[in-house]
A and B are shown apart, each in its own frame.
Chain A
Amino acid sequence: MKVSDFLRIVVLVTVMSVLYINLQVKIYSFAYRGKVKQQDIQQLAEINGRVRNDIIRLRSSDHIGRELLDKNGQYQFVSSKNIVEVASDSTSSLARMMETGAQKTEGFFSKMALAFAAR
């Protein structure tokens, strides 16, 4: 084999090796960046979890009940006799809005809304 051929092969192998190493390093670089992003996501998930748990606690029967139905409080469960139903035009935009709003509101909040009744 000629020296020039040998050198060509050496250069080729060296270049390929360098490319391979570069790719491997990139993989690890992505892994590190992914780790950082993962930590960001985890932090957001934690905040989300804390907020979610606060919401669950605040909307629990125990919390809402104590807030609204304290023995010194004004609110009480409403009997069906004290609820007035008003027939509305279903095509009116206000009626539609209210209907959509009621549907979106969770069942429990709508029940507790009925507790806001004047004596």
Chain B
Amino acid sequence: MFLTKHPLRVGLFFSVIFFFLILFTIKLSSIQIFRSGYLSDKAERQQNHTVELEPRRGGILDRNGRALALNVMVYSLYANPRAMSDADKALVAEKLSKVLGFNRSVVFEKLGKSKYFVWLARKLSADVYEKIKALKLPGTAFVKESRRFYPNGNMAAHVIGFANIDNIGLQGVEYEYDRYLRGEKGMAQVLRDARQRDLLIEKEYLPAKDGDDVVLTIDETIQFIAERALDKAVTKHNARAGTVIVMDPRTGEILAFANRPTFRPDAPDATGVESRTNRAVAFVFEPGSVFKIVTAAAALEEGAFNEEDVIFCENGKYRIANHILKDAHPHGNLTFQGVVEMSSNIGFAKIAQKLGADKVYEYGRRFRFGMRTDIGMIGEVNGMFKPVSSWSKTSIGAIPMGQEVTVTAVQLAGMIAAVANDGIYMKPHYVKMVRHQDGGVVHSFRPKMVSRVMHEKTAQRLKLILQGVIDNGTGRAVKMKDVSAGGKTGTAQKVVGGTYSHSKFVASFIGFAPVEDPKFAIIVTIDEPHPAYYGGVVAGPVFKEIVEDSLKYLSAETRSKE
């Protein structure tokens, strides 16, 4: 009725509606057709956010799967200076400096930058994070990052090494196996709302590939035992430094590896460069009497001497060319075995003279002196073992007793392990395998035989002679009640200003135990001990403690597995 009564009004009404409908259609067409590309891109940029997915850095484990290094998630604090007022900046600088122990000006300088993002403090410990969170600082926020965590403190520091704040390995296994440990980053493209909050809707997703674990040959417990014994000796004898290496002679696996001074992998800058130096592979020294094992091995293998052959030790003074060679304690006649047990310099000079320089050099090379062991640690050096053509007239007296030759601790470990292993030189190594975090093996490192240094029978004879060093000779302080062991003491004068010092020594003990079935080959070196400085007195007890405690540990482990 109304429609027919007022056709003009009705027509006007619908015209207006129709007009707006046209308007909307034009606008919609404009948005949907002509500007769709531009608006889609803008929406895409606003709404989509690509998040980098950090992979979990692989762990470093001991031979029994116990963690020596792993990752933890921690918070890092950042600020957006461009969104902060001067009052905010002053407040943040004031409060943060108290919590972090920084100078106010340091914080203020960071906030003074015209940036949207500045780090204020990275990878905070849990308690510091809670304190800062409670402050509710304006213009700041936390972001999660991963940080390396070393549950054993500074144990095996020179093996494990350390990673920097960005989880990039800089030393040790962290560096040498970084390509396995670091993994691969992933990414996720997530939607963001109008407040720039990420939503749990992923448009694209590439998972991060977590890093692989590196399993070492190190035994965490034997490592602790070795480090504890080394610490005691270094402290007791006021030494400058020390090194211990424990090897399984049958496989070449390193069971313990320690240097002093040492450092904390989670705070490597807290101590000096010297503490981070891997002395066992990078520090050379004249080995002294421990090197006599080379001459003894050569003499037995070449048939030049038997155990009972008598050697006259000149009652403590013997001229070689223009040099008078002396013994620490004068001896008259000694058997070959006695010469080794008493570590007579004169006795060994005569043995070497009978063998000849070429043979002494040949056996030194058989034991791989003057060349790297290829243990796989950065910084390993060759040491110095000069060819016969470079020997002087007195070298035939000096080199057999470990002077005019420089070695590393790991080279000595390889030598004594070869003797303990019935003459077979096994390559020292400290990584057992690399495996995925779910357990699948990526790469396995098997024991590798390098060479046969001497016949099995010769090695067995030499082992018994070295047992005599402990039972009757210079290593008596090492004698153990329930365990048979063989070894050699060494007390080497250090070269200071071109001459041999009478106050600075390197005290060493190298040995193996038990004799009948060696489980361990051990080298202990203590640098500049005083006032006591003899190898048998300073380094010998370290060997003894490691052997006794490690054997107890191994027997307990065997018992717990049965």
B552 touches A77 (CB 8 A): yes
Q: Contact string, A39-79, partner B, CB cutoff 8 A, digits 1/0? A: 00000001001100100110011110100010100000111
A80 touches B552 (CB 8 A): yes
Q: Is B67 an interface residue (CB 8 A)?
A: yes
Q: Is B553 an interface residue (CB 8 A)?
A: yes
Which residues on B sit within 8 Å (CB–CB) of A71? 232
A27 touches B70 (CB 8 A): no
A28 touches B199 (CB 8 A): yes
B151 touches A111 (CB 8 A): no
Alpha-carbon separation in the docked complex, A50 to B553 (Å): 30
**Complex: chain A residue closest to B68, CB-CB:** A60
Which residues on B sit within 8 Å (CB–CB) of A63? 151-152
A62 touches B199 (CB 8 A): no
Alpha-carbon separation in the docked complex, A71 to B201 (Å): 58
Known contacts being A35-B199, A80-B552, is A53 close to B224, with CB within 8 Å? no
Which residues on A sit within 8 Å (CB–CB) of B223? 61
A31 touches B221 (CB 8 A): no
A61 touches B73 (CB 8 A): no
Which residues on B sit within 8 Å (CB–CB) of A65? 221, 224-225, 228
**Complex: chain A residue closest to B201, CB-CB:** A31
Q: Is A20 an interface residue (CB 8 A)?
A: no
- Would you list which residues of chain B between 286 and 310 have a CB under 8 Å from chain A? none
Which residues on A sit within 8 Å (CB–CB) of B221? 61, 65, 108, 111
B152 touches A62 (CB 8 A): yes
Identify A56's interface contact among B64, B70, B191, B225, CB under 8 A.
Answer: B70
Interface segment, B397-405, B415-423, B471-479, B554-562?
B554-562
Q: Is B273 an interface residue (CB 8 A)?
A: no
Alpha-carbon separation in the docked complex, A64 to B351 (Å): 50
Q: Is A14 an interface residue (CB 8 A)?
A: no
Which residues on A sit within 8 Å (CB–CB) of B552? 77-80
**Complex: chain B residue closest to A85, CB-CB:** B559
Q: How many contacts between A and B, using CB within 8 angstroms?
A: 85
For the complex, would chain A's binding face be called helix, strand, loop or mixed by DSSP majority? helix
A61 touches B72 (CB 8 A): no
Known contacts being A53-B151, A80-B552, is A31 close to B199, with CB within 8 Å? yes
Alpha-carbon separation in the docked complex, A114 to B221 (Å): 14
Which residues on B sit within 8 Å (CB–CB) of A28? 193, 199
Shortest distance between the CB of B351 and any CB in chain A (Å): 39
Chain A residues proximal to chain B, CB less than 8 Å: 27-28, 31-32, 34-35, 38, 46, 49-50, 53, 56-57, 60-63, 65, 69, 71, 77-81, 83, 102, 107-108, 110-111, 114
In the assembled complex, 13 residue pairs joining A and B whose CB atoms fall closer than 8 Å, in A order, are A28-B199, A35-B200, A53-B72, A62-B151, A77-B548, A77-B549, A77-B552, A77-B553, A78-B552, A78-B556, A81-B482, A107-B561, A108-B64
Further pairs besides A34-B200, A61-B152, A83-B559: 4, Cβ < 8 Å: A46-B73, A62-B155, A65-B221, A78-B556
Alpha-carbon separation in the docked complex, A108 to B221 (Å): 9
Q: Is B94 an interface residue (CB 8 A)?
A: no
Which residues on B sit within 8 Å (CB–CB) of A62? 151-153, 155, 224
B197 touches A61 (CB 8 A): no
Identify A107's interface contact among B73, B153, B560, CB under 8 A.
Answer: B560
- Would you list which residues of chain B between 524 and 562 have a CB under 8 Å from chain A? 548-549, 552-553, 555-557, 559-561
B200 touches A31 (CB 8 A): yes
Q: Contact string, B206-248, partner A, CB cutoff 8 A, digits 1/0? A: 0000000000000011011100100010000000000000000
**Complex: chain A residue closest to B224, CB-CB:** A61
B155 touches A61 (CB 8 A): yes
Which residues on B sit within 8 Å (CB–CB) of A46? 73
Q: Is B66 an interface residue (CB 8 A)?
A: yes
Shortest distance between the CB of B399 and any CB in chain A (Å): 40
Which residues on B sit within 8 Å (CB–CB) of A50? 72, 126
B191 touches A31 (CB 8 A): yes
Which residues on A sit within 8 Å (CB–CB) of B199? 28, 31-32, 34-35
Shortest distance between the CB of B548 and any CB in chain A (Å): 8
Q: Contact string, B147-171, partner A, CB cutoff 8 A, digits 1/0? A: 0010111010000000000000000
B191 touches A57 (CB 8 A): no
A53 touches B549 (CB 8 A): no
Alpha-carbon separation in the docked complex, A12 to B355 (Å): 109
Which residues on A sit within 8 Å (CB–CB) of B193? 28
Identify A111's interface contact among B67, B73, B191, B556, CB under 8 A.
Answer: B556
Which residues on A sit within 8 Å (CB–CB) of B88? none
A49 touches B73 (CB 8 A): yes
A35 touches B66 (CB 8 A): no
Shortest distance between the CB of A106 and any CB in chain B (Å): 9
Alpha-carbon separation in the docked complex, A81 to B228 (Å): 24
B555 touches A80 (CB 8 A): yes
A35 touches B151 (CB 8 A): no
Alpha-carbon separation in the docked complex, A63 to B223 (Å): 13
Shortest distance between the CB of B7 and any CB in chain A (Å): 15
Known contacts being A65-B224, A80-B552, is A35 close to B197, with CB within 8 Å? yes
B66 touches A60 (CB 8 A): yes
B224 touches A35 (CB 8 A): no
A79 touches B152 (CB 8 A): no
Alpha-carbon separation in the docked complex, A79 to B554 (Å): 11
Alpha-carbon separation in the docked complex, A56 to B155 (Å): 14
A56 touches B482 (CB 8 A): no
